[in-house]
């Protein structure tokens, strides 16, 4: 029996790395991509069934090239896990247009480039899973989030749209909305992060959601995400008041 294969972008650190190791330990072929080639090599040298495929997701032709390399090596991809992201909290407090453009270029268009690279393959195959990694920051607007939150909100909408488009070809589209996970990206945060979890915790939840369940959204930890989901349904006035108090935001 041929091993199943997963392709993970953002696989050099954080959730992507932890998920690569989880799937590898479960016997899958794992293709990991990111810009930092040395980190990818360190992981692939340590795990026999993890292979390195360096990639800049903002480069459309590079996405196509890497996808073809993976297909040539494994002949098959069962799951794609697109989790490339960037975040600079210091530049989110004001409207920094260049910064916001860069965030969208990586978070939204980088994910879109990756999906486009595999679109025909999955629609012709009529099987498989495309996973889009968003964030709880995409549920509703938050203070000091002029680029990151909007980019994740755009991914939420994209995932819902693609759910229908790929569903016609029997391809599952799955949205992953993590809470606060201790990664190099969240290490930049200068505020207390409630219910902070490890990348390994995230990997366990994602693996279970992708392999053992069939829901559209995988979100965790539930103790945080369910609160935010309830908040997202509140009328604007109540929502703004509660979030303002929780984040100590004051109107000038």
pLDDT tens digit string along 139-154? Answer: 998 888 889 999 999 9
pLDDT at site 186: 67
pLDDT tens track for 228-247: 899 889 999 998 888 888 77
DSSP designation for 171: -
User: Is the pTM above the cut of 0.85?
Assistant: yes
Q: Would you give the distance in Å from CA 114 to the centre of its chain?
A: 12
The per-residue DSSP string of 40-65 comes to: HHHHHHH-TTEEE----TT-HHHHHH
CA angle 168, 8, 47 (to 5 degrees): 140
The three-class DSSP label of residue 29 is strand
* Calpha distance 126→159 (Å, rounded): 18
Going along the chain from its start, the domains and CATH numbers come out as 5-246 (3.40.50.720)
Instruction: Give the model confidence (pLDDT) of 130-185 as tens digits.
Output: 999 999 999 998 888 889 999 999 999 999 999 999 999 999 999 999 998 887 66
**Model confidence band, residue 252 (pLDDT cutoffs 50, 70, 90):** very low
- Give the dihedral sign, CA 85/90/93/96: negative
Q: How do residues 219-232 score in pLDDT, each as one tens digit?
A: 999 999 999 899 88
Strands (E), the chain: 5-9, 29-33, 50-52, 79-82, 129-133, 172-178, 217-220
Q: How many CB atoms lie within 10 A of CB 150?
A: 18
Burial class for 16, CB neighbours closer than 10 Å (0-12, 13-18, 19+): buried
| pLDDT > 80? residue 188 | no
Token pair belonging to 122: 């999955």
**Residues 190-215, mean pLDDT to the nearest whole number:** 90
**SS3 of residue 197 by DSSP:** strand
Residue with tokens 């268009």, as numbered in its chain: 109
Neighbours of 232 (CB within 10 A): 12
CA nearest neighbour of 20 among 37, 8, 3, 34: 8
Are the CB atoms for 160 and 204 separated by under 8 Å? no
Closest C-alpha among 36, 62, 66, 32 to residue 47 = 32
HSE-CB at 8 with a 13 A cutoff on CA atoms is 32
| b/e map 240-249, b = 16+ CB within 10 Å | eeebeeeeee
């Amino acid at each position: 029996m041929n091993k199943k294969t997963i392709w993970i972008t953002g696989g050099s650190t954080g959730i992507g790395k932890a998920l690569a190791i989880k799937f590898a330990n479960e016997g899958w072929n794992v293709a990991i991509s990111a810009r930092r080639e040395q980190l990818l090599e360190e992981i692939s040298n340590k795990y026999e069934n993890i292979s390195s495929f360096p990639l800049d997701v903002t480069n459309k032709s590079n996405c196509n090239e890497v996808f073809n390399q993976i297909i040539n090596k494994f002949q098959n991809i069962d799951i794609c896990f697109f989790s490339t992201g960037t975040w600079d909290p210091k530049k989110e407090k004001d409207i920094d247009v260049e910064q916001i453009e860069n965030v969208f270029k990586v978070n939204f268009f980088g994910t879109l480039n990756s999906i486009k690279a595999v679109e025909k393959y999955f629609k012709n195959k009529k099987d498989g899973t495309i996973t889009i990694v968003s964030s709880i920051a995409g549920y509703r607007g938050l203070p000091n989030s002029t680029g990151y939150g909007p980019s994740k909100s755009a991914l939420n909408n994209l995932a819902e749209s693609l759910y229908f488009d790929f569903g016609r070809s029997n391809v599952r589209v799955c949205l992953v909305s993590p809470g606060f996970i201790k990664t190099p990206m969240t290490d930049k945060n200068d505020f207390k992060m409630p219910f902070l979890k490890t990348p390994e915790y995230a990997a366990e939840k994602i693996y279970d959601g992708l392999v053992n369940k069939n829901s559209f959204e995988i979100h965790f930890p539930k103790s945080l995400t369910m609160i935010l989901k309830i908040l997202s349904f509140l009328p604007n006035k109540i929502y703004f008041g509660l979030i303002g108090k929780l984040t100590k935001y004051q109107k000038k």
